Structure 1
């Protein structure tokens, strides 16, 4: 079997089994360990697979948005610290917007005891989290994105102009100085653009892995964002660079 054929076979096996041990691959392909290592090194350099302890798995595409279920357990400590810090900027009597996303869902857990707080959201999990609280809840109307557990709105279904939002807490999949805030899904981006245009203060809640990434759809340039709240793992170069911008970078405590 030619090297390209073996490598194609490895990808096909991983698509079926998701994760495979080295011993399994040796048996399936009937090749030496040195030959397998060469093939795996090539596929790893091509970004097609990832090596894990004792085996390999298919690599996730950097251009694809991971599912909400995966994001809910990914970087959870960092997201909790970001959420707690965000909650400190929310006062009794505020009218706020909580975006759909795993980090903003954590914010909902910290604001249940606020008084006379109005929460506007497009996130089904946020609504469920706050359902039994004393907060006033407003959910925007529109099309349900099942994979994101969110509602992406249309102007003819929801009148944005009637909203008076003091503080909007927005999620992002990418943050760069050149392109600003970006996301994977165009309908989510449109909803966020509308909310940003109507809100007095814009907070972006994003863990440190989002910095330096520019993904599919631009949401807003950096100068339109008042605050970015992130975790303590953000690289020092970003902290220094933000000192020359109008956007305040807030680093949450661990």
Structure 2
């Protein structure tokens, strides 16, 4: 196996598992631990991971975030299925709040040109919605986080305190049984809380990779949402928690040709 091929596999492994140990990756790739340590050193120098004692973590786990462009390539088919299912909940006349994020951007792309009002803190989503003749767009102000393309902070929260939306489609970095809904940045977490407070109905849109992940700041307990839309069946403990809290679970599974979601 060539060095570049091996390092690409390490990055892919880390993208899926979020953290790794030298021993497990050496066994997985059938190479020496010395080779893996050298690869991790080079990958850290390239800005692709952060080394830890005995292994490495992805930059997101280490407190950094990939850009929107980098995230958009992750689990793209899954996000597309989630978006297709999510837009079916939006009706003419609705006022819809779309959180910033790559999954919510896919929802914006999937929306037909119908008479609705879209409120968003996302540059990319506002640009997408501006192409719809029948859609009214309300852009939240605030400080622009260039990593996520989101306007956040006190100005955005002040505007959110003055609006009432029918449906919020919310993205999240991590979902955990004990720690709830978490994200990387404290200011963005505060803005997400204000979004939840402004909405009559909250939809969490997430792919399978977000479960059992915990980040720096807790946004809220899983009970703050009304509906969870995911690309695959939930782990049993999460499904049980949703049932206990009265959360509707919608699975946007890939359908055989000719079949539709129920």
Please report the TM-score for the alignment, with normalisation by the length of structure 1: 0.76
Show the counterpart of 1:212: 212
- Deviation of 1:198 after TM superposition, in Å, equals 1.4
Q: Does 1:97 align with 2:97?
A: yes
C-alpha distance 147-155 of structure 1, shift in aligned 2 (>3 A): closer
Alpha-carbon distance in 2 for matches of 1:171, 1:91: 20
Show the counterpart of 2:33: 38
Alpha-carbon distance in 1 for matches of 2:249, 2:65: 25
C-alpha distance 48-189 of structure 1, shift in aligned 2 (>3 A): farther
Q: Does 1:169 align with 2:164?
A: no
- Superposed CA RMSD: 2.5
Show the counterpart of 1:108: 108
> In 2, are the aligned partners of 1:98 and 1:119 still within 8 Å (CA)?
yes
Alpha-carbon distance in 2 for matches of 1:226, 1:118: 21
> In 1, are the aligned partners of 2:167 and 2:201 still within 8 Å (CA)?
yes
Show the counterpart of 1:127: 126
> In 1, are the aligned partners of 2:66 and 2:147 still within 8 Å (CA)?
no
C-alpha distance 161-244 of structure 1, shift in aligned 2 (>3 A): closer
C-alpha distance 189-252 of structure 1, shift in aligned 2 (>3 A): same
Alpha-carbon distance in 1 for matches of 2:156, 2:37: 51
Larger Rg computed on CA atoms: 1
Q: Does 1:77 align with 2:42?
A: no
Alpha-carbon distance in 1 for matches of 2:147, 2:171: 16
Higher mean C-alpha displacement, 176-185 vs 227-236: 227-236
- Deviation of 1:235 after TM superposition, in Å, equals 3.7
Higher mean C-alpha displacement, 122-131 vs 149-158: 149-158
The superposition leaves residues 193-238 of structure 1 with CA deviations (integer Å, 9 ceiling, x where unpaired) of: 0110111011111111001111111111111111111112644553
C-alpha distance 210-162 of structure 1, shift in aligned 2 (>3 A): same
Instruction: Mark the runs of 5 or more structure 1 residues left unpaired by the alignment.
Output: 1-18, 23-35, 51-56
Alpha-carbon distance in 2 for matches of 1:110, 1:180: 28
Alpha-carbon distance in 1 for matches of 2:227, 2:184: 21
Instruction: Mark the runs of 5 or more structure 2 residues left unpaired by the alignment.
Output: 7-30, 50-55, 255-262
Show the counterpart of 1:231: 231
- Deviation of 1:173 after TM superposition, in Å, equals 0.5
The superposition leaves residues 122-161 of structure 1 with CA deviations (integer Å, 9 ceiling, x where unpaired) of: 0000011111212000000111111211111314884333
> In 2, are the aligned partners of 1:68 and 1:102 still within 8 Å (CA)?
yes
Alpha-carbon distance in 1 for matches of 2:235, 2:180: 17
Higher mean C-alpha displacement, 128-137 vs 61-70: 61-70
- Deviation of 1:108 after TM superposition, in Å, equals 0.3
Please report the TM-score for the alignment, with normalisation by the length of structure 2: 0.74
